């Protein structure tokens, strides 16, 4: 029996260890274990009681309860499960790190599902100090806990030193702030350059903005004549108009100013009479209009941009007659500008929208509102395309609608990609569900295997029950393999990644493939000798090939032909623009084609979903292609298929090509999936 009772109580209540006084327990360092499985908490208690007896254990069944207990008790170390309902380990870690009171508590994340590199990185980036994957060796957990306790004990000294440094830094920072405040007071300025000029055109005063405009100091500006602040060719003109400024006859003037570096800047000058130190003067407000001039140039560029825009832009009069189209309109619709001018936009009508659609559009436009929507239009060559269309009414100063501007973007390709993305997200959601199921199984198996190990190790070598306990351990390990299929689909299965040559793998399992397919299926293998390597797991690649081959066999109930090929593939940007989930680069392509019955249109979007099968009840699990999908995704690859009813199906898998040399592994035959029975010719979703 393990000394569990008296060690920790329900709802996270801490109780003294057997034989320990209450005063002593209050001085003990606390370890908080948070998990949604009571079996895991019991396992932690059993291990830590035996190996870390000088610490007290707190337990919390679930994330919310664990967060509250951590903030109240401030333990020395936290053992935290990753996948929990309601509030998972990532969220708890972020909240603990965001709370100054708990920000420095060491956290050891423990998970039986999130065991891949990306998951561990996410945990560490959230703030965890270490990460442990289930199932684990008890002594590994003990070593991790002891290491985190040592870190915790050393943090106090570091925090004291940090506070001393922060206090010293605060004193110095305040001195800098005071100095900066005094400095900034010397640079107060108005947004425009301001000059005060006497009757003879001499500068009496100027603000800092004036100095910036001319790249001169205030002292350098005072005493200069206004003609010294313009280019030589403009001085005679300024000399002529200055009396008009001074006497108020010319209040606004556009000219240029000259900087000390020789730059000429366009300016707008406004003049007003004033007095300065008891004498008549003129106040010149000089505004740099460089940006205004740039805006005018930008307007001209805008006109060119409209003409060269990728979106089709057309302008009609109030009656709908086309008055202008840009170059993109000609490219997208196929109508030359000369053929479109004067005609109505209904030349693009495809009859895919009914009369109510256009009635609603015109009701919106006639009310002076902008109409936005998606339409299916027809090009001049009769081909259809999808467009995102915005039509805006243009009003004259009286508010009367005089024109309509239509901006149309061809979204045919985007629509196809959105459908692929929707399917990808659906598969991702199903994968999370499958991973959650595997998580619950792993929690139970971890407890079974953990306690079995403890019991087995505690029994003498000649104890009659030692063999029985060992059988329990072996049964638990076999049960853990059953979660592999779901973990493969959810991309959370542990992979033994290494450089692989697909040609080697295919040659090794080819005899088994031929026996599995049977005599009425002709298997043709075509391998590219210059294929290159990939980075993946040998056993999982065997599963991919076997599942695709057996799936093809089931589509040919009367026999047929399967072609299995490997090829080098260099994927470019154009290929990726029509597919979601693949990037340009060097790939190895695995292709398998059959001449079976093909996949019906209504089944194609479901074939990779787990548990989807068209077979009769009791035949097929619906996990074959879902495993293939998950393995390809986990290997950073891409899978697609083409099928035509009655003409067969071809699956194409793209796996990133590696520059590493293949280790030419020799996989055991047991790692390849067993052959499946034929039942339904359309079963491509098992």
Tens digits of per-residue pLDDT, 621-637?
456 677 788 788 888 88
pLDDT of residue 670: 37
pLDDT of residue 247: 86
Could you tell me the pLDDT band of residue 613, with boundaries at 50, 70 and 90? low
Rounded Cα gap, residues 461 and 112, in angstroms: 30
Please state the rounded mean pLDDT for residues 110-119.
Answer: 85
- Measured CA distances, 599 to 76, 604, 641 (Å): 59, 6, 10
Closest by Cα among 555, 506, 564, 543 to 630: 543
Could you tell me the pLDDT band of residue 423, with boundaries at 50, 70 and 90? low
Cβ atoms of 357 and 364 within 8 Å: the answer is no
Spatial neighbors of 242 by CB under 8 A, at least 6 apart, are 201, 226
Please state the rounded mean pLDDT for residues 601-610.
Answer: 73
Closest by Cα among 631, 598, 627 to 610: 627
pLDDT of residue 614: 56
- E strand or H helix that includes residue 673: none
pLDDT of residue 335: 93
Q: Which of 79-88, 211-220, 387-396, 601-610 has the lowest mean pLDDT?
A: 601-610
pLDDT of residue 666: 44
Tens digits of per-residue pLDDT, 480-511?
655 555 554 444 555 677 899 999 999 998 98
Please state the rounded mean pLDDT for residues 596-605.
Answer: 80
Rounded Cα gap, residues 210 and 589, in angstroms: 68
Tens digits of per-residue pLDDT, 431-482?
555 555 556 666 777 778 788 888 888 888 888 888 888 888 777 776 665 5
Q: How far is CA 180 from the centre of its chain?
A: 42
Tens digits of per-residue pLDDT, 532-559?
899 988 888 888 888 888 888 888 888 8
How would you label 366-390 residue by residue, b for 16+ Cβ within 10 Å and e otherwise? eeeeebeeebebbeeeeeebbbbbe
**Residue 234: other Cβ atoms inside 10 A:** 16
Strands 193-198 and 203-206: antiparallel
Cβ atoms of 16 and 25 within 8 Å: the answer is yes
Tens digits of per-residue pLDDT, 10-23?
334 343 444 443 34
Pull the structure tokens for residue 657.
């090509």
Please state the rounded mean pLDDT for residues 76-83.
Answer: 92
pLDDT of residue 23: 40
Rounded Cα gap, residues 17 and 2, in angstroms: 12
Please state the rounded mean pLDDT for residues 119-141.
Answer: 88
Omega before 430 cis (within 30°)? no
Residue with the larger pLDDT of the pair 406 and 667: 406
Cβ atoms of 395 and 401 within 8 Å: the answer is yes
Q: Which residues pair with 678 in a beta bridge?
A: none
- Measured CA distances, 27 to 51, 153, 212, 297, 535 (Å): 19, 14, 67, 76, 52
Please state the rounded mean pLDDT for residues 53-70.
Answer: 91
Is residue 165 scored above 60 in pLDDT?
Answer: yes
Is residue 29 scored above 70 in pLDDT?
Answer: yes
Express as a percent the part of the chain with pLDDT over 70: 81
Residue with the larger pLDDT of the pair 678 and 602: 602
Is residue 578 scored above 80 in pLDDT?
Answer: no
How long is the chain? Answer: 686
Tens digits of per-residue pLDDT, 348-392?
988 888 888 888 988 998 888 999 988 989 999 988 888 889 999
Supply the mean pLDDT for the chain: 80
Confidence (pTM): 0.38
259 in helix, strand or coil? coil
Tens digits of per-residue pLDDT, 260-277?
999 999 999 998 888 888
Tens digits of per-residue pLDDT, 274-301?
888 888 998 888 898 888 888 888 888 8
Tokens 């060796």 correspond to 137
Is residue 186 scored above 90 in pLDDT?
Answer: no
Could you tell me the pLDDT band of residue 686, with boundaries at 50, 70 and 90? very low
Is residue 655 scored above 90 in pLDDT?
Answer: yes
- E strand or H helix that includes residue 128: none
- E strand or H helix that includes residue 110: strand 107-111
- E strand or H helix that includes residue 9: none
Tens digits of per-residue pLDDT, 131-160?
998 888 889 889 989 988 888 888 777 778
Omega before 135 cis (within 30°)? yes
- E strand or H helix that includes residue 252: strand 252-258
Rounded Cα gap, residues 536 and 505, in angstroms: 12
């Amino acid at each position: 029996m393990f000394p569990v009772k008296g060690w920790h109580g329900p709802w996270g209540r801490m109780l003294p260890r057997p034989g320990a006084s209450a005063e002593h327990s209050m001085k003990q360092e606390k370890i908080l274990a948070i998990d949604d499985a009571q079996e895991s908490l019991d396992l932690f208690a059993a291990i830590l009681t035996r190996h870390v007896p000088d610490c007290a254990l707190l337990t919390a069944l679930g994330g919310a309860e664990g967060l509250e207990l951590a903030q109240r008790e401030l333990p020395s170390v936290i053992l935290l499960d990753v996948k929990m309902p309601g509030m998972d380990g990532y969220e708890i870690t972020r909240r603990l790190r965001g709370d100054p009171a708990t920000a420095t508590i060491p956290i050891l994340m423990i998970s039986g599902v999130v065991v891949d590199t990306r998951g561990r990185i996410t945990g560490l980036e959230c703030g965890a100090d270490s990460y442990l994957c289930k199932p684990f060796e008890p002594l590994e957990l003990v070593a991790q806990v002891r290491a985190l306790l040592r870190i915790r004990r050393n943090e106090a000294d570091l925090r004291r030193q940090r506070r001393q440094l922060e206090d010293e830094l605060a004193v110095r920072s305040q001195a800098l702030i005071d100095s900066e405040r005094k400095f900034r007071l010397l640079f107060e300025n108005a947004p425009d350059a301001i000059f005060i000029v006497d009757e003879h055109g001499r500068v009496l005063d100027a603000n800092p903005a004036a100095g910036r405009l001319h790249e001169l100091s205030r002292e350098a500006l005072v005493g200069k004549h206004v003609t010294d602040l313009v280019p030589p060719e403009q001085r005679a003109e300024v000399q002529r108009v200055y009396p008009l400024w001074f006497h108020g006859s010319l209040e606004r003037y556009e000219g240029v100013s000259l900087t000390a570096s020789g730059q000429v800047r366009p300016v707008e000058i406004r003049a007003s009479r004033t007095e300065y130190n008891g004498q008549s003067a003129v106040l010149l407000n000089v505004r740099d209009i460089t940006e205004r001039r740039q805006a005018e140039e930008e307007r001209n560029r805008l006109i060119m941009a409209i003409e060269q825009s990728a979106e089709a832009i057309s302008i009609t009069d109030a009656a709908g007659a086309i008055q202008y189209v840009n170059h993109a309109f000609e490219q997208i619709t196929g109508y030359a500008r000369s053929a479109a001018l004067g005609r109505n936009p209904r030349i693009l009508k495809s009859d895919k929208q009914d009369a109510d659609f256009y009635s609603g559009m015109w009701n919106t436009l006639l009310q002076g509102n902008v109409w936005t929507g998606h339409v299916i239009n027809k090009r001049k060559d009769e081909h259809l395309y999808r467009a995102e269309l915005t039509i805006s009414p243009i009003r004259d100063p009286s508010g009367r609608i005089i024109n309509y501007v239509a901006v149309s973007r061809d979204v045919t390709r985007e629509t196809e990609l959105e459908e692929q993305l929707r399917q990808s997200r659906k598969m991702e959601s199903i994968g999370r569900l499958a991973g959650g199921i595997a998580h619950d199984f792993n929690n139970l198996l971890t407890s079974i295997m953990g306690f079995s190990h403890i019991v087995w190790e505690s029994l003498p070598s000649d104890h009659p029950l030692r063999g029985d306990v060992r059988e329990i351990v072996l049964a638990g390990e076999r049960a853990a393999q059953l979660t592999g299929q779901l973990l493969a689909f959810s991309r959370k299965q542990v992979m033994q990644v290494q450089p692989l040559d697909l040609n080697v793998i295919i040659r090794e399992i080819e005899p088994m493939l031929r026996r599995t397919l049977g005599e009425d299926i002709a298997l043709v293998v075509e391998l590219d000798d210059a294929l290159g390597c990939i980075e993946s797991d040998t056993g999982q690649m065997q599963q991919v090939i076997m599942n695709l081959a057996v799936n093809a066999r089931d589509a040919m109930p009367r026999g047929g032909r399967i072609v299995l090929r490997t090829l080098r593939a260099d994927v470019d940007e154009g290929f990726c623009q029509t597919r979601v989930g693949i990037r340009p680069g060097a790939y190895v392509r695995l292709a398998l084609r059959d001449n079976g019955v093909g996949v019906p249109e209504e089944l194609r979007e479901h074939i990779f979903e787990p548990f989807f099968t068209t077979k009769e009840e009791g035949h097929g699990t619906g996990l074959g292609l879902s495993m293939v999908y998950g393995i390809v995704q986990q290997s950073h690859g891409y899978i697609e298929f083409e099928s035509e009813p009655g003409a067969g199906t071809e699956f194409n898998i793209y796996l990133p090509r590696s520059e590493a040399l293949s280790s030419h592994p020799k996989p055991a035959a047991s790692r390849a999936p067993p052959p499946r029975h034929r039942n339904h010719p359309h079963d491509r979703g098992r």
